Amino acid sequence: MSTPMELIKQKRAEAINRIHSKGYLSTKRVYVGMATCEIAAGSKEVMEVFSQAMKNGLTDVYLSQKGCAGRCNLEPTVEVVEDGKIPVKYCKVTPEMAQLIVERHLKKGEVVKEWLIK
């Protein structure tokens, strides 16, 4: 039988592992618009590109979805937030563009300026 202190230590270790495995401490965060209107515009396929990149070894990235931004004419949207930098918002993102965002922005730090919301 475990002591109360051993149980607390075990629970703490489990919580820390969950935090790390979910990417909550990552220096890069990617938010894909997944409101109904964005899904209709193709955001599920865009989200899958980022999800697959993470499965294929993209690290230090937290991937999540966000709700409606009220900019239906710019959907699907992707926001990239990096520690110490101004958030970047991409518009009309296709799966092909998402792959380039992974390669250029997330891996090399190069913002793809021509796709930004202005």
- Give the C-alpha separation, 70 to 68, whole Å: 6
Averaged over 41-68, what is the pLDDT?
Answer: 95
Structurally, the chain folds into a number of domains equal to: 1
Domain assignment present for 52 = yes
pLDDT at 75 over 90: yes
- pLDDT at site 44: 97
pLDDT tens string 6-54: 999 999 888 888 877 777 778 999 999 999 999 999 999 999 999 999 9
Q: What is the pTM of this model?
A: 0.83
Averaged over 54-74, what is the pLDDT?
Answer: 91
**3-class secondary structure per residue, 62-101:** EEEEECCCCCHHHCCCEEEEECCCCCEEECCCCHHHHHHH
- Give the C-alpha separation, 102 to 80, whole Å: 10
Name the residue range of residue 110's domain: 26-115
Domain assignment present for 76 = yes
- pLDDT at site 68: 86
Domain assignment present for 60 = yes
**Mean pLDDT score across all residues of the chain:** 92
Of the pLDDT bands very low, low, confident and very high (cuts 50, 70, 90), residue 77 is very high
CATH number of the domain that residue 67 is part of: 3.40.30.10
Averaged over 69-96, what is the pLDDT?
Answer: 94
